[in-house]
Structure 1
Amino acid sequence: MPDQRPYATLLAKGEERRQLILTVAQRLLTRNGWRAITLGQIAREAGVSTAGLLHHFESKEQLLHAVLDARDASDDAYRQLPGDLLAKIESRAERFHRAPELVSMFAVLLIENLDPDAPLHDRFFTRYRTSVDTVAEFIRREQRSGRYRTDLDPAVKAVEIVAFLHGMETSWLLDPSIPLTEVFREYAGSLARQFAPPGDTP
């Protein structure tokens, strides 16, 4: 039976190089935005040729999507952690500290792709709508169970919550000294008080 180890080693090295390119792209995108960087710059920083980069990513747009795929995977893993909506919001600060480069990159690319003609606009818009719909559905579920008051509009509240999360990302980029843990804890507490049915004290 042929020895598979050389092939496996080659695959491992290829994946390692691909991850290095993604890491470098994240850093440069955060620093310069997507308009100001080229595939050649990313390749040089990663220590590979442009042809080597194109072996893993066929275009700049494909690389941008791959970088966002990594961010979305991290975000989805966070959403699947145990705990209700308020607990997740309160623990959001941990995500900032755990993956600051992903938070920074996402905020920069989001601002750059507000124009409907920007290459990543549709992806960001879809992700935003999904986030709002997910939060709104959670609120509706808690309202049906009697845990949340029913005179609040879930769709409006969901927009507020998502806006707060995006706003905190931008604020933190401007001022990394913000006491994230305390801010998120206070906001989660204020939501708990707003959501509490009449007569309940959270």
Structure 2
Amino acid sequence: MSDQRPYATLLAKGEDRRQRILAVAQRLLTSNGWRNTTLGQIAGEAGVSPAGLLHHFESKEQLLHAVLEARDAYDNAHRDTSGDLVEQIRHAAERFEQVPQLVGMFIVLLVENLDPAAPLRDRLLHRYQSATEIIADGIRRGQREGRYRDDVDPVIKARGIVAFLYGMETTWLLDPSVPVTEVFTDYTQSLALQLAVPETVR
């Protein structure tokens, strides 16, 4: 047991250092973008040596993927694919308060990687496509259950919803004073009316 404790302590310290590097990277990427952020800057602000940073992340590209994985992990942990889609979208406003660093970092990386040759473009395109399909599936589920109208095209509506989500993150990054909760509440109330089956059909 005594031999395991030092090893466990080292693992804990290593994980703490890794999380500190990620937190600094998220902040610097939000303010500077990936082109103007160096591994040396991240290492210095995280209080580790360049070699120490490379022990956890072998390259800048690997670190960029890691910060996106942190955003994906948050979204996956807070996603309820069996619940009401409109409520899920309304609760997405909580992300701005709970993990603002992930919101800012994600949208900056998204804008910076629109070029087909950019390092994260394929990953971000796949993420957009996956998000669209997840939302479209939620609409289809509501249609099967008779809660959503059948004449709504799930994919087209899903693309509009994703555009709203990405647009709100961009707007908030530009102006953090935007009342995010109120905007999401208003949008989802309108969305619920658009999806609802007319009373005369019920």
TM range (shorter): over 0.9
The superposition leaves residues 15-63 of structure 1 with CA deviations (integer Å, 9 ceiling, x where unpaired) of 1111111111111100100000111111111111111110111000001
The superposition leaves residues 123-160 of structure 1 with CA deviations (integer Å, 9 ceiling, x where unpaired) of 00000000001111111121122111111111100000
Q: Report the counterpart of residue 158 of structure 2 in structure 1.
A: 158
User: Residue type of the partner of 2:25?
Assistant: A
Return the alpha-carbon distance in structure 2 between the equivalents of residues 200 and 24 of structure 1.
55
Q: Is the contact made by 2:43 and 2:53 (CA closer than 8 Å) also made in structure 1?
A: yes
Q: Report the counterpart of residue 47 of structure 2 in structure 1.
A: 47
Aligned CA distance change for structure 1 residues 149 and 7 (closer, same or farther; 3 Å): same
Query: Are 1:138 and 2:134 counterparts?
Result: no
Aligned CA distance change for structure 1 residues 200 and 45 (closer, same or farther; 3 Å): farther
User: Residue type of the partner of 1:63?
Assistant: L
Q: TM-score, normalised by structure 2?
A: 0.95
Q: TM-score, normalised by structure 1?
A: 0.95
Return the alpha-carbon distance in structure 1 between the equivalents of residues 70 and 80 of structure 2.
16
Q: Which consecutive residues of structure 2, in runs of 5 or more, have no partner in the other structure?
A: none
Aligned CA distance change for structure 1 residues 49 and 150 (closer, same or farther; 3 Å): same
Q: Which consecutive residues of structure 1, in runs of 5 or more, have no partner in the other structure?
A: none
User: Residue type of the partner of 2:44?
Assistant: R
Question: Structure 1 stretch 50-59 or stretch 143-152: which is displaced more?
Answer: 143-152
Q: Report the counterpart of residue 10 of structure 1 in structure 2.
A: 10
Return the alpha-carbon distance in structure 1 between the equivalents of residues 159 and 200 of structure 2.
25
The superposition leaves residues 165-193 of structure 1 with CA deviations (integer Å, 9 ceiling, x where unpaired) of 00000111111111111111111110111
Q: Is the contact made by 2:80 and 2:88 (CA closer than 8 Å) also made in structure 1?
A: no
Q: Report the counterpart of residue 123 of structure 2 in structure 1.
A: 123
Return the alpha-carbon distance in structure 1 between the equivalents of residues 72 and 192 of structure 2.
27
Query: Are 1:96 and 2:101 counterparts?
Result: no
Q: Report the counterpart of residue 56 of structure 2 in structure 1.
A: 56
Return the alpha-carbon distance in structure 2 between the equivalents of residues 95 and 39 of structure 1.
27
Q: Secondary structure at the match of 1:70?
A: helix
Q: Report the counterpart of residue 184 of structure 2 in structure 1.
A: 184
Return the alpha-carbon distance in structure 1 between the equivalents of residues 137 and 197 of structure 2.
18
Question: For residues 73-88 of structure 1, what are the structure 2 equivalents within 5 Å?
Answer: 73-80=73-80, 83-88=83-88
Aligned CA distance change for structure 1 residues 149 and 81 (closer, same or farther; 3 Å): closer
Aligned CA distance change for structure 1 residues 56 and 112 (closer, same or farther; 3 Å): same
Return the alpha-carbon distance in structure 2 between the equivalents of residues 80 and 63 of structure 1.
28
Q: Secondary structure at the match of 2:21?
A: helix
Return the alpha-carbon distance in structure 2 between the equivalents of residues 195 and 67 of structure 1.
35
